[in-house]
Structure 1
């Protein structure tokens, strides 16, 4: 389930003496790496830095000044949804083949059910929709290795503390004393982005939305069932959400490959009570250290919600559980300042109700790459300006719908909950009956980008 990533190093690179424009990407998640890969295609010298501390091995390597092979991000998180728009972005970046070669599940139907499994509403019933489920590492790993093959270096244990722009570039400072100079900086460091805080200290902070837990289990594993009879861990459908539409609690279930399934429990009725550390540290995707205790507690909790027993079993016998807190970032009126640009969750992080976090970030990566291909590094001001014009309307539309779905999943009264389900069933049934593609997920970024570019050239 995990592999080593040869592109990751602990030794900081020497400053470039080349005339090739240099880009520093902050954040080595899938979006940061995909962005780096797209910029490398356009001829940039790209280096990626991430704040994650990988422990004693990396610290020793840093002290010795030697590179080290390490595992990075491939044993973290749970299911990732990849829809048509995300795969289109990967294809145009040149990363689709690598990602499709990784283990995944091809999902033909997405079921939305009451918490007890009743009243299923089907979505994705048209031939135009691409929907895959992956474990996070099975997307992160191939993109990381592709970056390594392309010559992109990734440095970890580098916590950003400062950005200083001059007329010719940006000086980037890290907590460990590392200083790098770059022509441009791309902030892909997530919902609690340090890049965003340094760039726009007065913008609204991310808003708490829900406590959550992500788990992974081995499909087909035999576990004790009723009356001592063995039971095999399976969801029963490749992709489903069990929801309590009165108070908003929900459980997402997705098969990620022939071997693994993943679930996400959202406790909308709970509030975060962890004030012992910063939000960034709380939400660092660290698996729980007491798996037996946490799996039992969550299994008992969801069993009390009335969810079917086979889902309870999958949670109770998880091989990994990761707690997280989910936030929603208010819409921003710009994504860049000078030579620094935000992408992915750093620019527009939101709630996971329509599974568009990663796919939207991948759209960012390919749009930025295409804009630099069109205008070149010298005209970066145009690139960054048009990036916002191309992305903001799309992002605001997608995330408005994510928030709308969230509202429908927490109606407050049984009557409103029933009305919400009627509306949802009607919308999805019409999409299915007429074979209409869902414009939120079955989306190609190119037509919108070409319109923005054409409008800009016409103005000039």
Structure 2
């Protein structure tokens, strides 16, 4: 194989978790004598460290371990380990358990990992700490991209302030409202509202306050799903998140921002939906939660274009879908699989000059996995929809059987290590 000495220049649009982990993966898997120069541009004035609490499944933690982030999470004591996810009916009792302990109690896969509930802010802080260790990566905030031009040899982005940047490759890691997609890669593929909103806050429970779960619980109701979970090691704070059907307000993103800014209105809506729970701690947790945020859940169509000759979309920019329990891990796997494909192309001497061969290999590997995850996410939307008593009774009857029936397939996902997946070119 030819050895490539000249490093690539790569632009990443988006300084969130997808863009930052993409930069780390591109650095880790590049040929050692051709580590790329990576320029990350974020539209916000600073990286956004606010947000809810996500569940990092074993396969997600395995990717963060490869990228050097898991070590920082442990050193900083971020998040709370999860042995099992408990599933409850808010009107009666526990329905099922999804276990992360594995056959020896140490976790799932090799190396074994359990699961980790962590705030988006803490996970981002851990990634940013690792980013700062790499001289080949720069992060510039407060840059709004207004134009993207691609030629046979390079791609140039122009900013609102008149500045510009040119590179060999552009990575669109800028989320569901991706400028990279809407201005260049696939302008006709726009996000659509799913009819579901995620409302969340954090309740600092008083000492001795009793909850109905060991660490994290998914609580079903006739009018949505509520997640209650510890998210830090002291277990002094409980994440309270609700997925619920909310009609489209019809005024776009700005209108949703105005509605979401009314925390007390959101709290009142959550109390109407879940406040009649027979589980004693649920109503007080809703009442104690601080500063509820309301986020509409958008999605993209299942099929669409992910790339051009020199631009590639990753994460939500390519395949945003409703939450289905593994969304964050899927993004991490995206970054690693893509980086390995690009590294293989570099090792082969960059045949043809364009990375299109690497892009095509990545899409062949990932599109079937994303299609399956997309289908799974549709079930989430169905489970959130308001239901009558009969429909809800049938749902609660089916949940334990579904958890049992799908356990082997979940564990196979959790065992995955995409650094070991064979590349087909």
TM-score between the two structures when normalised by the length of structure 1: 0.78
**Does the 8 A contact of 1:26 with 1:185 survive in 2?**
yes
SS state of the match for residue 181, structure 2? helix
* Offset from partner CA, 1:305-355 (integer Å, 9 cap, x none): 536342222222223422211112221343111111000111111111x32
Partner of 1:310: 281
Correspondence 1:407 to 2:407: no
* Distance change in 2, residues 1:133/1:382 (3 Å): same
Q: 2:120 aligns with which of 136, 146, 161?
A: 136
* Offset from partner CA, 1:79-109 (integer Å, 9 cap, x none): 1110012112222333321233342111111
**Does the 8 A contact of 2:73 with 2:123 survive in 1?**
yes
SS state of the match for residue 167, structure 1? coil
Q: How does 1:247-326 map to 2 (within 5 A)?
A: 247=223, 249-257=224-232, 258=234, 259-268=236-245, 270-273=246-249, 275=251, 278-279=252-253, 293-294=264-265, 296-298=267-269, 300-306=271-277, 308-326=279-297
* Distance change in 2, residues 1:374/1:289 (3 Å): same
Partner of 1:182: 167
* Distance change in 2, residues 1:298/1:310 (3 Å): farther
Correspondence 1:423 to 2:398: yes
* Distance change in 2, residues 1:260/1:370 (3 Å): farther
* Distance change in 2, residues 1:320/1:442 (3 Å): farther
List runs of 5+ in structure 1 lacking aligned partners. 1-17, 55-71, 223-230
**Does the 8 A contact of 2:201 with 2:290 survive in 1?**
yes
Q: 2:412 aligns with which of 434, 439, 442?
A: 439
Deviates more, 1:197-206 or 1:103-112: 197-206
Q: 1:52 aligns with which of 44, 53, 56?
A: 44
Give the number of aligned pairs: 397
**Does the 8 A contact of 1:287 with 1:320 survive in 2?**
no
CA distance in 2, matches of 1:357, 1:283: 23
RMSD: 2.8
Q: 2:71 aligns with which of 65, 79, 97?
A: 97
Correspondence 1:240 to 2:217: yes
Q: 1:107 aligns with which of 67, 79, 82?
A: 82
List runs of 5+ in structure 2 lacking aligned partners. 109-113
Partner of 1:339: 310
**Does the 8 A contact of 2:231 with 2:237 survive in 1?**
yes
* Offset from partner CA, 1:350-388 (integer Å, 9 cap, x none): 111x32221111001111121222221825211111111
* Distance change in 2, residues 1:306/1:317 (3 Å): same
How far is 1:405 from its partner? Answer: 3.8
CA distance in 2, matches of 1:108, 1:179: 48
Partner of 2:157: 172
How far is 1:208 from its partner? Answer: 2.6
Partner of 2:16: 29
SS state of the match for residue 412, structure 2? coil
How far is 1:194 from its partner? Answer: 1.5
**Does the 8 A contact of 1:295 with 1:317 survive in 2?**
no
* Distance change in 2, residues 1:37/1:307 (3 Å): farther
SS state of the match for residue 398, structure 1? helix
CA distance in 1, matches of 2:313, 2:291: 31
CA distance in 2, matches of 1:262, 1:117: 22
Correspondence 1:360 to 2:334: no
CA distance in 2, matches of 1:443, 1:167: 37
TM-score between the two structures when normalised by the length of structure 2: 0.84
**Does the 8 A contact of 1:84 with 1:442 survive in 2?**
yes
* Distance change in 2, residues 1:153/1:159 (3 Å): same
**Does the 8 A contact of 2:260 with 2:266 survive in 1?**
no
CA distance in 2, matches of 1:324, 1:351: 12
CA distance in 1, matches of 2:198, 2:329: 20
**Does the 8 A contact of 1:209 with 1:328 survive in 2?**
no
Q: 1:378 aligns with which of 350, 370, 375?
A: 350
CA distance in 2, matches of 1:125, 1:100: 18
* Distance change in 2, residues 1:159/1:122 (3 Å): same
